[in-house]
Chain A
Amino acid sequence: MEDVKVIDARGSYCPGPLMELIKGIRQEPVGTTFEVWSSDAGSAKDIPEWVARAGHELVQNTEDEGIFKVQVKKLR
């Protein structure tokens, strides 16, 4: 499996997991895959929603013992 950049946003109420992902996407090159860790169930919904609007790829969306792990690949 290719390298994945983990964004550990557990316990992040502000700026929050999605904003942390946007930060990562803004600063890393096209083709980078991120895995956002969130303790907020809302991330499993709002991250995919933004990813679709922004034209990136949702690779995986899973839950592991209360931690939501969302993998996203930067496409543009």
Chain B
Amino acid sequence: MKKIVILGGGVGGTIVANQVARQMGQELRNHELEITVISENPNHVYQPMFLYVAFDQVVPAEAQKPEREILDRHVKFHVGSADRVDRNAKAVIMQDGTEIPYDYLVIATGSRPAPEQIAGLELGGYIFYTEEGALKLREALHNFQGGRIVVTVGVPHKCPVAPLEFTFMVQEWAKVRGLADKTEVVYTYPIGRLHSLEPVANWAAPVFEQRSIESHIFFNPENIDAQNKTITSLEGETLNYDLLVAIPPHMGQDVIGRSGLGDAGNWIATDRHSLRMEGADDIFVLGDATNLPISKAGSTAHFEADVVASNLVNLLRGGLGSVRYDGKVFCFIETGLKNATYIQFDYTHPPKPQEPTEMIHMFKLAYNRMYWLTPAGVL
């Protein structure tokens, strides 16, 4: 019997499990193939909802479902914490000592916010990248009576459009709450324009001017003084704030470090086309866990999962597993509380942002509800 083990029950890992299961149902039923998903969380979490939780538009329960309900019934689901991957034994070793052997391993462990990497951030700022963080920010916004809101951005981070989305949304939110004349919105960004994607930066610049959003480029947050409410960049600039909202820097998961599979940030060296771990024929890596220079986003994991699932099915049927990932990424961009746009790009085609419309915003809200069809392998 061949064994596929998928480490991680997020969007990427779940899509791979369900797509392979759908295409190889016969082999699963005949016990010629076994697929096991390992996750420490029994629930599947749709993380983009946390942005809306911060604005009290949805509650955390709407962002999660039991992973077991999403997975194909022939896929095994193992809830627990992995201690390490043992490449020699070809097994995942769980913290309770259980060994889960594999013929093919898919690493879909994602990334984790690492606010501790910026001195003072945990004390002096808010993040909306976790349920707990989003709820704290919801409370802070609820109590906000006006002042200077500074948005700052750590590197690397997932969801690269989130800094702009939050900035546009909070500016409109202040207006709707009748706080516009008492509120300043300040945006900082690590490189020399408003967004890493030049067309998006060019589109955002006049919108910032029109909405009187102050911006500071080449600003990499280094130190936060929670008592005096100041933030200083490694480039040497200091700003005052009343409410600091950070897009936190991220790291790969600690299990990658314990397994000796990653670099100093726990990112795994991955072939940009085959999505195999460099130097390994039996390990695929997808989503945030890779070291690839592409957006850490759910859509990236989704498109990569399509490739990994196709290659696994092909390999198990005697093929070479040579389907290639082309770097495809797709992101919606909320441009306020009522309009949105989107971008799509790959390794060779730059994005071309479309004019924001209410229809795209409505579609994004609808997708938030339809999301569950994506890990199910339907959409």
Contacts and interface: CB of A to CB of B under 8 A. Distances in A.
A22 B351 contact: no
Given A22-B155, A27-B265, 6 more contacts: A14-B345, A15-B155, A15-B293, A22-B220, A27-B263, A42-B198
Contact of A11 (B117, B295, B347): B347
A19 interface: yes
Contact of A54 (B234, B348, B350): B234
Contacts of A50: 191-192, 218
B294 interface: yes
A4 B43 CA distance: 42
Interface of A: 7-20, 22-23, 26-28, 42, 46, 49-50, 53-54
Interface string B223-244: 0000000000011100000000
Contact of A16 (B196, B264, B348): B196
Contacts of A49: 192, 218
Interface in B183-241: 190-192, 195-198, 218, 220, 234-236
A54 B191 contact: no
B321 interface: no
A54 to B, nearest CB: 6
Interface in B261-300: 263-265, 272, 293-295
A15 B234 contact: no
A7 B191 contact: no
Interface string B70-105: 000000000000000000000000000000000000
Interface of B: 117, 155-156, 160, 190-192, 195-198, 218, 220, 234-236, 249, 263-265, 272, 293-295, 327, 329, 345-348, 350-351
B333 to A, nearest CB: 12
Given A26-B249, A50-B218, A11 B348 contact: yes
Given A11-B348, A23-B155, A28-B264, A17 B234 contact: no
Contacts of B348: 11
B294 A14 contact: yes
A12 B294 contact: yes
A29 to B, nearest CB: 8
B264 A18 contact: no
Contacts of A23: 155-156, 265
A4 to B, nearest CB: 15
Nearest to A29: B264
Contacts of B160: 14-15
A73 B351 CA distance: 31
B117 to A, nearest CB: 7
Contact of A46 (B156, B192, B236, B345): B192
A10 B223 CA distance: 31
A13 B350 contact: yes
Contacts of A22: 155, 190-191, 220
A18 B217 CA distance: 13
Nearest to B118: A26
Nearest to B200: A14
A13 B155 CA distance: 15
Nearest to B345: A13
Contact of A14 (B155, B263, B329): B329
A27 B264 contact: yes
Nearest to A50: B218
Nearest to A40: B198
Q: Which of A9, A13, A28, A42 has the most CB of B within 10 A?
A: A13
Given A19-B156, A26-B155, A46-B191, A11 B196 contact: no
Contacts of A28: 264
A20 B191 contact: no
A19 B197 CA distance: 11
Contacts of A12: 293-294
Given A26-B155, A28-B264, A8 B293 contact: yes
16 contacts: A11-B272, A11-B293, A12-B294, A13-B345, A13-B351, A14-B197, A14-B294, A14-B329, A15-B155, A15-B295, A16-B196, A17-B293, A18-B192, A22-B155, A28-B264, A54-B235
A11 B156 contact: no
A28 B267 CA distance: 13
